[in-house]
Amino acid sequence: MNDRTNTSGQESTTYYGLPVIKEPVWTWEVPAYFYIGGAAGAAATIGAVLQVLDGDNSERLVRRCRDIAAAGTLVGSGLLVSDLGRPERFLNMLRVFKPGSPLNIGSWILVTASGLSAGSAVLSRTRGFRRKLGKLAGLGAGAIGLPLSGYTAVLLVGTAVPVWRASRRSLPLLFVASATGAACSLLEMGDFDEKELTAVRRLGTVTQLSELALAKAVEKECARVGTGRPYEEGLSGTLWKASTACTVASLAVDTFTGKSRSGRIAAAVVGTIGSIALRYSVWLAGRASARDPRATFDSQKMPGE
């Protein structure tokens, strides 16, 4: 056995420096799905809320939300199938319903959201009874969109990977806030009237500020048990800092130039880059954390466990 000093200055015991748990085998498609699926879910929820509160006056914005949700869930499903290697592996997860399994519940959430989002995007463009069905599907997609935007983080914190497990309280909230900000960035690229754009910009500002606060909360949770090194060093640390910088830059650009179309698009693009960087940072941080035996041993001393 080897004794080494952890980031808190305490002695940390490892077994000859060998990893204790297996490194996640997910490929690049998974963090891409974290972003695309999250943005799709948040867009569906925003569209449903607008439909209830101001559907007649915000029809174009609601329609764009439905389109983003439909496209995002479709692409997200493709990314998951690509990561699994064969479509039947994804279908096998739907053979049972296990409320205690985040992965199984997440699969059902994605399938349900995909169907409802596609239905709302297509049927709401028709007339009569089918249009009413489209609006009803939009409400259903909005209801399931919120869990879609954050269930992936619940899946992560339920694993044995120290850096993910340590942030079990704040990481799901961070994913939801970031997904909502990502959806707002995509919406800001559209051509809407001033009232619609003002609503999107305000929501985007609130969610991006929340994202910055929750990112700090993740860092603090991980630092308490000495598992936060992946967010400070290496490629994962670089992407984590880049994500924060992009979010701050997006807020600044939108505040000072957001009333112009070019300013809005610039803020949206920078915000989108930040959202993507966040997902890849979390993914890479998990891989680095799994390779670090000291983080695994230190995480066993997590407060409250």
Structural domain that includes position 282: 1-21+161-305
Residues 133 and 111 in one domain: yes
In this predicted structure, what is the pLDDT of residue 303? Answer: 53
Residues 148 and 176 in one domain: no
In this predicted structure, what is the pLDDT of residue 299? Answer: 60
In this predicted structure, what is the pLDDT of residue 37? Answer: 96
Residues 175 and 303 in one domain: yes
Cα–Cα nearest to 69, from 170, 128, 148: 148
| Each residue's pLDDT tens digit, 271-305 | 999 999 999 999 999 999 998 877 765 666 555 55
The domain tally of the chain equals: 2
In this predicted structure, what is the pLDDT of residue 301? Answer: 58
In this predicted structure, what is the pLDDT of residue 15? Answer: 52
Q: Which domain CATH number covers 243?
A: 1.20.120
Q: Which two tokens stand for residue 253?
A: 């650009």
Which residue among 136, 158, 180 closes a domain? 158
C-beta of residue 62 within 8 angstroms of C-beta of residue 51: yes
C-beta of residue 169 within 8 angstroms of C-beta of residue 303: no
DSSP state of 211: H
Q: Which residues of the chain have pLDDT under 50?
A: 1-12, 16
